[in-house]
Copies of this chain bind each other. A is one copy, B any other.
Amino acid sequence: MLQQLFSPSLLHALDLIGIFVFAISGALLAVRKNLDVFGIAVLAEATALGGGLFRDVVIGAVPPAAFTDLGYFVTPLLAVALVFFLHPHVERIQNAVNFFDAAGLGLFCVVGTAKAYDYGLGLTASACLGLVTAVGGGVLRDVLANEVPSLLRWDRDLYAVPALVGATMVALCIHFDVLNAFTSSLAVITAFVLRLLALRYHWRAPRAWQRRSTAREEE
């Protein structure tokens, strides 16, 4: 569906940029966890491709794009090389990484939703899979690194909500038959800007009622 709205090469380039920045975040976590170069590569690939892989397996698009398009596989390795040799510099430019990661988040939630709908899923399910496409790689990264997924932690800035908003916008556009290059770009940008604002102003999701007060007492 999105393939008809954008030139394929533009969409592919955006996809690869998203994969690259996700791979950077995986590689940086691997360095922090003191993994070897192979561990860095595995975490980079898992972060970059995990969300899309899950989506493709669930909607029955096998073999998944991650295995049929060589670029999807090679791009994370470039991120690995970059982090391996330059990671103190990459860490220093964490703001730039966050910026591109937010762009990847916005792009993936929109592309994921559209692809799931193309494969015959309902609108709610498509939006869900769009969300999973965007955040799944990060969850897999944290599970492999043996940490509680940062997506789920209350002390991290909102990550899923921007992706959910973007995915919902696409689903609504499909429902009202107004999905086009403009509206889908708008969904990408909305998710992207929301994520940047969440980072800037430390927006966080609430915890359950009682726990909040208990935690306060503990402090």
- Asked if B153 and A144 sit within 8 Å, CB to CB, the answer is no
Count the copies: 3
Select one of B36, B68, B83, B210 contacting A88, CB under 8 A: B210
- Asked if B67 and A36 sit within 8 Å, CB to CB, the answer is no
- Knowing that A39-B205, A68-B125, A143-B143 are A-B contacts, what are 7 other residue pairs whose CB atoms are under 8 Å apart, sorted by A's residue number? A35-B148, A36-B207, A38-B160, A43-B152, A60-B60, A88-B210, A144-B149
Q: What band does the interface of chain A fall in when counting residues whose beta carbon is under 8 Å from B?
A: 35 or more
> Which chain B residues lie closer than 8 Å to A33 at the CB level?
148, 152
Q: What residues of chain A have their CB less than 8 Å away from a CB belonging to chain B?
A: 30-31, 33-40, 42-43, 53, 57-60, 62-64, 67-68, 70, 73, 83-85, 87-88, 119-122, 124-125, 128-129, 139, 143-149, 151-154, 160-161, 204-211, 215
Tell whether A83 pairs with B208 under 8 Å between CB atoms, given A151-B39, A160-B38: yes
Tell whether A152 pairs with B30 under 8 Å between CB atoms, given A38-B160, A144-B139, A146-B147: yes
